[in-house]
């Protein structure tokens, strides 16, 4: 960039008086200046911290000495770390899968009913996505309360429970996934509904004439037509779910015994609350590989579509 800018300055320098003015009036210069605030923001508060995290991860706890990969090897030797890896993957994969399935089913039901009522249902079903996650997780926390759980009150007459929703490892893992599915499924529903609307009606008519069952219609018409949206929504959601913080932080804080921690909450526990910034940075860096893979696929998808248009 600087080279080109310098070049243009030299080119127009012949006319000394208005050289700078002309340069400032060039289309590319104006455009660059218009994008400058964006560039400054991205470089100073996103790109630089991201790179800085890698450097931080190689310092000792007091941040006085360069220790190379010692933080990484230290983590590898800790049992809690592997539990967090396992829990993060379990959390992200299960939650994204259920969000996709529930979103797909609900989108179909909404699509099935007369279009007059669709708006109303869609509006109602998107509410979990609109409420700030920290706030809605609070209501789940109260629904899961150890001694006053409203769910347990309902289950009690059936002879079930009391269920330790957030008190026992298995149930607590189930609960954080449930809340995540609850918040995220409406997003899938909206995306799939938009995709369903774009499938040409003639395809279904043709399939009906050929005697296709409803299952064959979904498998051979709907799914292939929606493949793109399904993939991109699932990838987006994988990134967001994998990096999730709010739900686990509010619902369990990683308890019982650190078994519900995901990378983000554990990094917070170690880095901010435990005052070990380098180790916290190291933990959060373990999110990068999966995020990078998802990002590459999304990008490929988007550029592919861009060239098609």
Partner 1 sequence: MTDTAIRAGAAGPKYGSMSRDRRWALRWSYFFLVLFAIFFLTPPIYMFITSLKTSAEISAEINPWWVFNPTLGNYIELLTQDTFLRFFRNSAIVSILVVTITMAISVVAAFALARMKFWGSATLATGVFLTYLIPETLLFIPLFKMFAWVNETLGIQLMNNWWTMIILYPTLTVPFCTWIMIGYFASIPKELDEAALIDGATWTQTLTKIFIPVALPGIIAATIFAFTVSWAQFLYPLAFTTSTSELVLPVGIVTTLIKGDVFNWGQIMAGALLGAAPPLIIYAFLMDYYIAGLTAGATKG
Q: Which of residues 111-170 bind partner 1 (CB under 8 A)?
A: 112-113, 119, 121-136, 138-140, 142-143, 145, 148, 150, 153-154
The torsion defined by the Cα of 223, 228, 234 and 239, in degrees rounded to 10, comes to: 170
Residue 226 Cβ vs partner 1, minimum distance, rounded to whole Å: 12
- R_g of the chain, CA atoms, integer Å: 26
Residue 117 Cβ vs partner 1, minimum distance, rounded to whole Å: 9
Residue 79 Cβ vs partner 1, minimum distance, rounded to whole Å: 22
Binding positions for partner 1, 263-302, rule CB under 8 A: 263-264, 267-268, 271-272, 277, 280-281, 284-285, 287-288, 291, 294-295, 298-299, 302
Of 173 and 268, which has the nearer Cβ to partner 1? 268
- Triad 231, 184, 251: Cα angle to 5°: 135
Residue 11 Cβ vs partner 1, minimum distance, rounded to whole Å: 15
Binding positions for partner 1, 78-107, rule CB under 8 A: 102, 105-106
Among 87, 96, 246, 261, binds partner 1 (CB under 8 A): 246
Binding positions for partner 1, 214-233, rule CB under 8 A: 229, 232-233
Stretch touching partner 1 by CB under 8 A, among 15-23, 87-95, 110-118, 159-167: 110-118
Residue 160 Cβ vs partner 1, minimum distance, rounded to whole Å: 16
Rounded Cα gap, residues 309 and 306, in angstroms: 6
Residue 282 Cβ vs partner 1, minimum distance, rounded to whole Å: 9
Q: Give Cα 266 to chain centroid, integer Å.
A: 17
Residue 196 Cβ vs partner 1, minimum distance, rounded to whole Å: 12
**Cβ-contact 68, 275 below 8 angstroms:** no
Among 91, 95, 176, 249, binds partner 1 (CB under 8 A): 249
Among candidate residues 196, 263, 288, the one with its CA nearest the CA of residue 233: 196
Q: Is residue 1 part of the contact set for partner 1 (CB under 8 A)?
A: yes
Q: Is residue 260 part of the contact set for partner 1 (CB under 8 A)?
A: no
Total binding residues toward partner 1, as defined by CB under 8 A: 105
Binding positions for partner 1, 177-216, rule CB under 8 A: 182, 185-187, 190-191, 194, 202, 205, 208-209
Among candidate residues 191, 300, 293, 281, the one with its CA nearest the CA of residue 238: 293
Q: What are phi and psi of 66, to 5 degrees?
A: -80, 125
Helix axes 277-285, 48-56, angle to 10 degrees: 110
Binding positions for partner 1, 18-77, rule CB under 8 A: 27-32, 34-35, 37-39, 41-42, 45-50, 52-53, 56, 63
Of 177 and 285, which has the nearer Cβ to partner 1? 285
Residue 251 Cβ vs partner 1, minimum distance, rounded to whole Å: 11
**Cβ-contact 67, 59 below 8 angstroms:** yes
Q: Give Cα 128 to chain centroid, integer Å.
A: 16
Burial of residue 63 (CB within 10 Å: 0-12, 13-18, 19+) is exposed
Rounded Cα gap, residues 265 and 272, in angstroms: 10
Q: Which residues contact 72 (CB under 8 A, 6 or more apart)?
A: 57, 282
């Amino acid at each position: 960039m600087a080279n080109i800018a310098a070049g243009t300055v030299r080119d127009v320098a012949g006319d000394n008086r208005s050289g700078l003015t002309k340069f400032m009036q060039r289309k590319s210069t104006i455009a660059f200046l218009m994008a400058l605030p964006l560039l400054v923001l991205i470089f100073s508060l996103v790109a630089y911290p991201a790179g800085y995290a890698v450097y931080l991860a190689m310092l000792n706890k007091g941040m006085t000495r360069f220790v190379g990969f010692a933080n990484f090897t230290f983590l590898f030797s800790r049992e809690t770390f592997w539990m967090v890896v396992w829990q993060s993957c379990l959390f992200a994969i299960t939650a994204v899968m259920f969000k996709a399935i529930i979103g797909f089913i609900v989108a179909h039901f909404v699509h099935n009913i007369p279009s007059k009522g669709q708006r109303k249902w869609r509006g109602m079903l998107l509410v979990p996505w609109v409420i700030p996650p920290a706030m809605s997780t609070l209501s789940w926390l109260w629904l899961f309360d150890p001694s006053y759980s409203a769910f347990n009150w309902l289950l009690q007459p059936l002879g079930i429970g009391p269920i330790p929703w957030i008190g026992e490892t298995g149930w607590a893992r189930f609960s954080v996934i449930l809340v995540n599915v609850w918040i995220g499924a409406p997003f899938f529903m909206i995306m799939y509904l938009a995709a369903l609307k774009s499938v040409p009606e003639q395809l279904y008519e043709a399939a009906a004439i050929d005697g296709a069952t409803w299952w064959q219609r979904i498998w051979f018409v709907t799914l292939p037509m929606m493949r793109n949206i399904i993939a991109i929504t699932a990838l987006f959601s994988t990134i967001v779910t994998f990096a999730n913080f709010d739900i686990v932080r509010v619902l369990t804080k990683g308890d019982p015994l650190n078994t519900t921690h995901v990378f983000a909450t554990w990094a917070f526990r170690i880095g901010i609350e435990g005052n070990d910034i380098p180790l916290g940075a190291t933990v959060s860096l373990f999110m990068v590989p999966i995020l990078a893979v998802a990002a590459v696929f999304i990008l490929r998808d988007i550029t592919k579509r861009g060239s098609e248009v």
